[in-house]
Amino acid sequence: MSAIDASFESDVDVQPRTVGTEPSARRPLVEPSVDDHVEPTGSTTHTDDSAVDTDDAAPEAAALDTHTFKILVTGPFAAGKTSLIQSVSQTDVVSTDVVTSGDEADVKAHTTVAMDFGTYELEDDGVNLLLFGTPGQPRFRFMTNILKGDVDIVAFVIDADARHTHAAAGVELRSLLSDLRVPAVIAVNRCDDQDVADRMARSLGALDGEAVVPCQLVDPDSGRNVIVEVLLTLLDSMESGGHDG
């Protein structure tokens, strides 16, 4: 379990970018109780309180909104997807790592064969992030196809040093985004330079509007920076109406 007690509040002020202009929309959101029905995917979950008069309850209902976002963490083999999820998840990561064999064993000792799953919650803002990590090898592409349903944003991780993976990664990135039509954040792992990361991401076909984050995903702080960018991108998307959350 990640022992990280991460809070974005000291790192970034997301509150001014919270969706909506109504005062109720900017109020802190209440985290759901165990009795609340929380959709596993989708953008916004409304807690149901049918006993409340709906005429008077609109502002209160908005205050009870819990925003649950599904994030697809994907990218090539050994790019750092599992590291990202492990570094930021506040709950035990569901991991399907197994020992590698063949040529892949020369790259790393373990690999994800089905999925990684982690969570991140901003309690005061009622924002829940569900992080679904995919395997990176093409033979597991069916898992990406399963996991990509109803995602709100893609965090696409590449390894700056593994340039031989970039061409295929670029094809995969554009294919995925043209299919999903959701925003993306490009996390360029093993990179500290924003300009280098930008150039690398653009060479993959990342669009000008897509955020690029240089990162070192062995460092939990760096992983959190990626998640911050994911949050900001989501909020931007919601404000611009590109997202139904």
Partner 1 sequence: MSPPPPPPPSPAASRPVPTTAAGALDEMTEVIAGARGALLASVDGFALAQSETMPNEAAHAAMLAASIGLAHQLVMMGGGEQLRQLVVDHDNGLLLLWPIGDTRVLAMLTDSNVDQARLRRFVRSRAALLADAS
Distance between CA atoms of 108 and 87, rounded to whole angstroms?
18
Pick the piece of the chain touching partner 1 (CB under 8 A) from 17-25, 111-119, 168-176, 180-188.
111-119
- Measured from the CB atom, the residue of 145 and 240 that comes closer to partner 1 is 145
Question: For the chain, where are the E strands, in sequence order?
Answer: 44-45, 66-74, 94-99, 110-122, 127-133, 153-159, 184-189, 211-215
- CB closer to partner 1, 108 vs 163: 108
Could you say whether residue 101 binds partner 1 (CB under 8 A)? yes
Q: Looking at 100, 165, 189, 222, which residue binds partner 1 (CB under 8 A)?
A: 100
Conformation bin of residue 60: beta by default, left when phi > 0, alpha when psi is -120 to 50: alpha
Q: Is 85 in the site for partner 1 (CB under 8 A)?
A: no
Q: Does 180 bind partner 1 (CB under 8 A)?
A: no
Residues touching partner 1, count (CB under 8 A)? 21
C-alpha distances (whole Å) from 116 to each of 8, 34, 40, 73 are: 22, 23, 15, 9
Q: Which of 114, 76, 118 is nearest to 98 (CA)?
A: 114
One residue of 78, 127, 143, 182 binding partner 1 per CB under 8 A: 143
Q: Does residue 225 touch partner 1 according to CB under 8 A? A: no
The answer to whether the CB of 140 falls within 8 A of the CB of 115 is: no
Distance CA 68, CA 107 (A): 35
Task: List beta partners, residue 189.
Answer: 159, 215
Considering only 68-76, 136-144, 152-160, 191-199, which stretch makes contact with partner 1 by CB under 8 A? 136-144
| 115 interacts with partner 1 by CB under 8 A | yes
Site string for partner 1, 23-52 (x = CB under 8 A): ------------------------------
Residues that bind partner 1 (CB under 8 A): 94-102, 104, 111-115, 135, 137, 139-140, 142-143
